[in-house]
Amino acid sequence: MSQLDQVLAKIDSDLDASLARLFEWLRIPSISTDPAYKADCRRAGEWLVADLKGLGVDASLRETQGHPVVVGHAKGAAAPHVLFYGHYDVQPVDPLELWDTPPFEPKIATLADGRKVVSARGSSDDKGQVLTFVEACRAWKAVTGSLPINVTFLVEGAEEDGSKFLPEFIEANKDELKADVALVCDTGMWDRDTPAVTSSLRGMVYEEVKVRCADRDLHSGTFGGAAQNPIHVLSKIIAAIHDENGRITIPGFYDGVPETPTQMLEQWRGLNLTEEEFLGQVGLKHSAGEKGRMLIEQIQSRPTCDVNGIIGGYTGEGTKTVIASEASCKVSFRLVGDQDPAKIAESFQAFVRERIPADCSVEFIHHKGSRALSLPHDFSALTVAKGALHDEWKKEPIVIGMGGSIPVGGDFKRTLGLDTLFVGFGLDDDRIHSPNEKYDLQSFHKGTRSWARILAALAQK
């Protein structure tokens, strides 16, 4: 048997032990957005440090102004040097009553179609994905005594909270984090049997808007019909963002948005992604995006605006006839091409201000923005990864764009000069950020085998 075959056999025989390690990590409720779980986030980071040290990795927990970062270094048998990124924090679990089993009590479940899955918060996003890479490294160490290439691990604890302090950490430690290419395992496959490499990511702008009118909540029987209602004001503004064709009406919004090349559009048409297939899995039937665009364009290569939350007035049990004094909403924009996050935020705020009545005021809370990111067409690591994935899955990998945003890719490019290879094994039905999150057992097992192959292929590049 070749070294690689021995490593793959080790992964197969060690699967139960790998799952036991994953379950131990998943039991830690590392919810980064809730201060009540601050100690648990640290505990999750400490768990990974201890696990990496067990592999002979020089690992430590490094402080930031927020949750700590795990950094580790492992000397390999050959060049190149890769920087592997992931995150150990998870999303909140509410509404808890919608979970079939407790979110931090992982278990193997069998779906109606017979698939076996790991059910727990963080199983797919991102602890399960991180461990596919760690377990591949473990197998290489067990079989050969070393990794095939040099690896630096960078696993943060605040990705779900916007990675607020990661850019400055990368800047402050850029000499230590030098590498030839970055690897990120926080993306997905085309379907459960077809691997994918993500070649582009949409950027992000996130804004909170607070509209205030009266100086207190008002009795709707006394003031109704005369007093400005901030919920009505905010609702009209939200409704004005899109026109009847699904296009965003904010002036200048489409500046820097490229048209997708004809050749790529033809490739996407060949994938035959239908509304019934994509939206049917979430109980919907009809696309609400830009008219005249393919569904795959709407979710990958076109910019979007979505209201992620709206708050105002009385929402408790029973009735309370009030006109609220304040209403607020949270709005996210997904960006493509050369759209400038700062200009989008500025244009959005101007759009809102123009629609605020004289008796009302508005406040904005601006969160971190990020530009869209695309891999160069001649990126050699992309070719290497595609070959390794084909060897494992016996299918030609799909090279696609990703509708979501992973800002760290931009940070790696700007600060470290690194292009990032995005390879992940999540599925559209993993229910990340939702109750009953899961990770297919096949994704975990073959994902680990895939990384073992990619490490071997990179060593020969």
Q: What is the pLDDT of residues 369-425, one digit of tens each?
A: 888 988 887 789 999 999 999 999 999 998 888 877 788 998 999 999 999 999 999
Within 10 Å of residue 406's Cβ, how many Cβ atoms? 25
- Residue at 97 is within a domain: yes
CB atoms within 10 A of CB 11: 24
Question: Does a structural domain hold residue 280?
Answer: no
Whether 435 has a pLDDT exceeding 80, the answer reads: yes
Last residue of a domain, one of 339, 366, 393: 366
Cis peptide before 180 (omega within 30 of 0): no
**272 vs 34, more confident:** 34
Residue 444 has pLDDT above 90, yes or no: yes
Mean pLDDT of the chain: 95
Note whether residue 293 is domain-resident: no
* 284, part of any domain: no
What CATH number does the domain containing 98 carry? 3.40.630.10
Q: What is the 3-state secondary structure (H, E, C) of the chain?
A: CCHHHHHHHHHHHCHHHHHHHHHHHHCCCCECCCHHHHHHHHHHHHHHHHHHHHCCCEEEEECCCCCCEEEEEECEEEEEEEEEEEECCECCCCCHHHCCCCCCCCEEEECCCCCEEEECCCCCCCHHHHHHHHHHHHHHHHHHCCEEEEEEEEEECCHHHCCCCHHHHHHHCCCCCCCCEEEECCCECCECCECEEEEEECEEEEEEEEEECCCCCEEHHHHCCCCCCHHHHHHHHHHHCECCCCCECCCCCCCCCCCCCHHHHHHHHHHCCCHHHHHHCCCCCCCCCCCCCCHHHHHHCCCEEEEEEEEECCCCCCCCCEECCEEEEEEEEEECCCCCHHHHHHHHHHHHHCCCCCCCEEEEEECCCECCEECCCCCHHHHHHHHHHHHHHCCCCEEEEECCCCCHHHHHHHHHCCCEEEECCECHHHCCCCCCCEEEHHHHHHHHHHHHHHHHHHHCC
Cβ pair 148, 455 in contact under 8 A: yes
User: Which residue, of 327, 351, 366, is where some domain finishes?
Assistant: 366
Specify the CATH number for the domain of residue 330: 3.30.70.360
pLDDT (0 to 100) of residue 436: 98
What are the tens digits of pLDDT across the range 74-122? Answer: 999 888 999 999 999 999 999 999 999 999 999 999 999 999 999 999 9
Q: Which domain holds residue 338?
A: 203-257+303-366
Same domain, 394 and 435: yes
- Does 441 reside within a domain? yes
Residue 297 domain-assigned (yes or no) = no
- Model confidence pLDDT, tens digit, residues 143-199: 999 999 999 999 999 999 989 999 999 999 999 999 999 999 999 999 999 999 998
Q: Are residues 100 and 249 in the same domain?
A: no
The bridge status of strand 326-335 relative to strand 203-212 is antiparallel
Q: In this model, does residue 284 exceed pLDDT 80?
A: yes
Identify whether residues 135 and 79 lie together within a single domain. Answer: yes
* C-alpha distances in Å from residue 89, one per residue of 177, 370, 381, 441: 21, 20, 28, 21
Same domain, 34 and 143: yes
State CA 31 to chain mean position distance.
Answer: 15
Q: What is the pTM of this model?
A: 0.80
Distances (CA, A) of 1 to 6, 73, 328, 440, 452: 6, 29, 62, 29, 15
**Could you tell me if 381 and 450 lie in one domain?**
yes
Flag whether 211 is in a domain.
Answer: yes
pLDDT computed for residue 265 by the predictor: 87
Q: Are residues 76 and 179 in the same domain?
A: yes
Look at residue 292 and tell me if it is in a domain. no
Question: pLDDT tens, 295-340?
Answer: 999 998 999 999 999 999 999 999 999 999 999 999 999 999 899 9
Same domain for 441 and 347, yes or no, is no
Judged against a pLDDT cut of 90, whether residue 212 lies above it is answered with yes
Q: Look at residue 42 in the predicted model and tell me its pLDDT.
A: 98
Tell whether 38 and 185 lie within a shared domain.
yes
Q: Same domain for 360 and 419?
A: no
Is there a single domain that holds both residue 33 and residue 72?
yes
Domain co-membership, 42 together with 162: yes
Q: Which of 350, 366, 382 is a domain's end point?
A: 366
Asked if 172 and 307 sit in the same domain, the reply is: no
- pLDDT at residue 399, as a whole number: 85
- Give 38-52 pLDDT, tens digit per residue: 999 999 999 999 999
Number of domains forming the structure of the chain: 2
